[in-house]
């Protein structure tokens, strides 16, 4: 379980998170939704230990995130792989650091995603780079998978491939996936729980199905409603 | 399968060596080209034989320091710092692998230049030959025993290697402090570099002076001893090594506890 207790985080005068308390339940797919600047990426980075809270605390299974990197797979929005590597070299580099690397899954996924091991990262398209990042992240059997805007700037067909990969490999009850995105429609069918963030605060959270039934709205409509009221 | 910390370290090290490949190749190619050029021109100016080796030694010795800024700074410029910081390894491994790679670059560079110089000398001056040169040197009072050459030369080289580690550690420390600010990062890096260099100099100079005074008791221009010289170089190397360790630990602490994205 991942827990935020009264977490605040600012970057200079910009408040990214303001006294936020959230519980990300284990074994679910959780959508972290909100407009740009809502605090989604900061939340993901705090879980990954790439940021530290100014106040409050973040716990991953009761521990400091800095000590749980072994259990968390992270897919950032930006291209973070070494451009001179090819896919095989990037996979070899990643597998050295993680005991949960699943070689069979990697071999299966590389075919499923139409990638080739000799593809050089600096030479491939943006969609292929997104798929490569996904390949390296999902080839691990990590208990936690954090995805920061995995569909941003990706064409519709690649988006479908990414979502199908997630559905295909998700281990319900065992793995917790947190997807941060503002492309809610694309992942609506995927998420079990939702957290809507706005200007560093939680606007709405709960079970996706319960919220849909209770308000008779899709998640996209719910977000519009929540942010319209916020203004 | 659990991977050992050593294997993780060497994976990081091999990545850094791959990043440094262009600089290593530059030294290798430049040494070959310059030596060839001087080989064909040496008949006109035989005294110039020392020039290519000195020029290349300067380059081989200076490049790792320049590369230290590239090796760390590029992680931020190319966003690969996201990958590094998400790895389950601490700053000691990240910075240690970079330091070891830069020292390897120094070792390879200086070895290539030295080998090039020795080969060029023997190609241009096959006479009187190594044995005769050593005999002449011995006759003029220089201690040419292999043991002495290796111990003194090795100690001086070790001191230069530790000196390189020292400036690289200061470079890492100043760059990491520079990354803590969003504006004027380069300026902060430069100021911290100069300030750390000055401060460490202030700390180490009195110890160096103490060692120097002690050595003068045992060695002066009338009473020169290789053993005393080696002792002096060895002590100074140890002091510099202690300074390197202090600055490197400070850099690791900044990386582990202060660096954020």
Tokens of A58: 């973040």
CB within 8 Å: A97 and B89: yes
d(CA B196, CA B184): 18
Residues in chain B with CB shorter than 8 Å from the CB of A52 are 260
**Residue A69 banded pLDDT, cuts 50, 70, 90:** very high
CB within 8 Å: B261 and A50: yes
Confidence (pLDDT) at B194? 96
Please give the residue that has the higher pLDDT: either A152 or B217: A152
Contact A154, A127 (CB under 8 A): yes
Of A124, A131, A147, give the one whose Cα is nearest residue A76. A147
Which candidate in A53, A73, A96 is best for mutational testing of the B interface (most B CBs within 10 A)?
A96
Residue A123 CB: number of other CB atoms within 10 A?
9
Confidence (pLDDT) at B2? 67
Residues in chain B with CB shorter than 8 Å from the CB of A72 are 86
Q: In what order do the strands lie in the sheet with A2-11?
A: A14-24, A2-11, A55-60
Residues in chain B with CB shorter than 8 Å from the CB of A78 are 79, 82
Min distance A94 CA to chain B CA atoms (Å): 9
Tell me if chain A has a CB within 8 Å of the CB of B85.
yes
Through-space distance between the first and last CA atoms of chain A, rounded to whole angstroms: 32
d(CA B167, CA A162): 46
Min distance A190 CA to chain B CA atoms (Å): 26
pLDDT (tens digit, 0 to 9) for every residue of chain B, 261 residues total?
667 899 999 999 999 999 999 999 999 999 888 888 888 776 666 666 677 778 888 888 899 999 999 999 999 999 999 999 999 999 999 999 999 999 999 999 999 988 888 888 777 777 666 677 777 777 776 666 767 777 778 888 999 999 999 999 999 999 999 999 988 999 999 999 999 999 999 988 888 787 777 666 565 555 556 777 777 888 889 999 999 999 999 999 999 999 998
Residues in chain A with CB shorter than 8 Å from the CB of B15 are 82, 93
Please, how many CA atoms are within 13 Å of residue B78, restricted to the half-sphere of its CB? 17
Confidence (pLDDT) at A40? 94
Q: What is the CATH number of the domain that holds A65?
A: 3.40.50.300
For the residues of A38-80, what is the DSSP string, one character each? SSHHHHHHHHHTSS--SEEEEEETTB-GGG-GGGEEEE-SS--
Confidence (pLDDT) at B144? 64
Contact B27, B111 (CB under 8 A): no
CB within 8 Å: B15 and A93: yes
Tell me, what DSSP letter sits at residue A36?
Answer: T
Confidence (pLDDT) at B85? 95
Closest Cβ opposite residue A99 in set B1, B18, B182: B1
Of B169, B184, B26, give the one whose Cα is nearest residue B98. B169
Give chain A's domain count.
Answer: 1
Residues in chain B with CB shorter than 8 Å from the CB of A69 are 86-88
Closest Cβ opposite residue A79 in set B79, B86, B260: B79
Confidence (pLDDT) at B45? 64
Q: What is the ipTM of this complex?
A: 0.91
Min distance A21 CA to chain B CA atoms (Å): 21
Residues of chain A above pLDDT 90, percent: 61
Q: A222: domain range?
A: 2-230
For the residues of chain B, what is the DSSP string, one character each? -PPPHHHHHHHHHHHHHHHHHHHHHHHHHHHHHHHHHHHHHTTT-GGGGHHHHHHHHHHHHHHHHHHHHHHHHHHHHTSTHHHHHHSS--HHHHHHHHHHHHHHHHHHHHHHHHHHHHHHHHHH--SSHHHHHHHHHHHTT----HHHHHHHHHHHHHHHHHHHHHHHHHHHHHHHHHTTSSSSHHHHHHHHHHHHHHHHHHHHHHHHHHHHHHHHHH-BTTB--HHHHHHHHHHHHHHHHHHHHHHHHHHHHHHHHT---
Phi, psi values for residue A207, rounded to 5°: -70, 130
Burial, A154: exposed, middle or buried (Cβ in 10 Å; 0-12, 13-18, 19+)? buried
């Amino acid at each position: 379980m991942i827990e935020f207790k009264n977490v605040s985080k600012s970057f200079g005068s910009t408040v990214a998170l303001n006294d936020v308390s959230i519980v990300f339940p284990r074994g679910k797919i959780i959508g972290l939704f909100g407009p740009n600047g809502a605090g989604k990426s900061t939340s993901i980075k705090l879980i990954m230990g790439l940021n530290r809270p100014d106040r409050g605390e973040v716990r991953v299974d009761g521990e400091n995130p800095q000590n749980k990197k072994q259990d968390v797979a992270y897919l950032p929005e930006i291209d973070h792989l070494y451009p001179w590597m090819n896919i095989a070299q990037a996979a070899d580099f990643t597998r050295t650091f993680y005991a949960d690397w699943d070689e069979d899954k990697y071999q299966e996924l590389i075919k499923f995603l139409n990638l080739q091991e000799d593809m050089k990262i600096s030479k491939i398209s943006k969609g292929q780079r997104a798929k490569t990042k996904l390949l390296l992240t999902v080839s691990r059997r990590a208990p936690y998978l954090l995805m920061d805007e995995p569909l941003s700037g990706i064409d519709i067909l690649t988006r479908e491939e990414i979502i199908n990969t997630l559905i295909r490999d998700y281990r319900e009850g065992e793995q917790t996936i947190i997807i941060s995105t503002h492309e809610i429609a694309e992942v609506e069918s995927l998420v079990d729980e939702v957290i809507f963030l706005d200007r560093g605060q939680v606007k709405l959270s709960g079970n996706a199905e319960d919220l849909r039934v209770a308000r008779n709205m899709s998640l996209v409509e719910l977000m519009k409603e929540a942010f319209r009221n916020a203004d | 399968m659990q991977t050992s910390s050593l294997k993780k370290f060497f994976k990081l090290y091999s990545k850094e060596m791959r990043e440094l490949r262009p600089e290593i190749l530059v030294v290798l190619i430049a040494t070959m080209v310059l030596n060839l050029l001087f080989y064909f021109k040496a008949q006109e100016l035989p005294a110039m034989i020392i020039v290519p080796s000195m020029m290349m030694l300067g380059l081989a010795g200076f490049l790792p320091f320049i590369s230290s800024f590239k090796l760390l700074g590029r992680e931020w410029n190319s966003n690969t710092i996201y990958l590094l910081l998400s790895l389950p390894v601490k700053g000691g491994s990240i910075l240690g692998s970079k330091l070891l790679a830069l020292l390897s670059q120094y070792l390879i560079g200086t070895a290539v230049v030295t080998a090039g110089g020795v080969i060029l000398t023997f190609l241009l001056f096959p006479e009187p030959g190594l044995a005769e040169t050593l005999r002449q040197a011995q006759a003029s009072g220089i201690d040419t025993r292999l043991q002495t050459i290796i111990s003194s030369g090795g100690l001086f080289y070790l001191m230069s290697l530790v000196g390189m580690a020292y400036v690289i550690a200061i470079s890492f420390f100043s760059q990491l402090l520079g990354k803590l600010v969003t504006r004027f990062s380069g300026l902060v890096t430069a100021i911290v570099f100069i300030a750390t260099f000055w401060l460490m100099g202030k700390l180490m100079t009195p110890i160096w002076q103490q060692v120097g005074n002690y050595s003068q008791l045992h060695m002066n221009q009338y009473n020169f001893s290789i053993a005393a010289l080696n002792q002096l170089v060895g002590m100074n190397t140890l002091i510099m090594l202690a300074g390197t360790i202090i600055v490197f630990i400070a850099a690791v602490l900044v990386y582990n506890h202060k660096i954020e994205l």
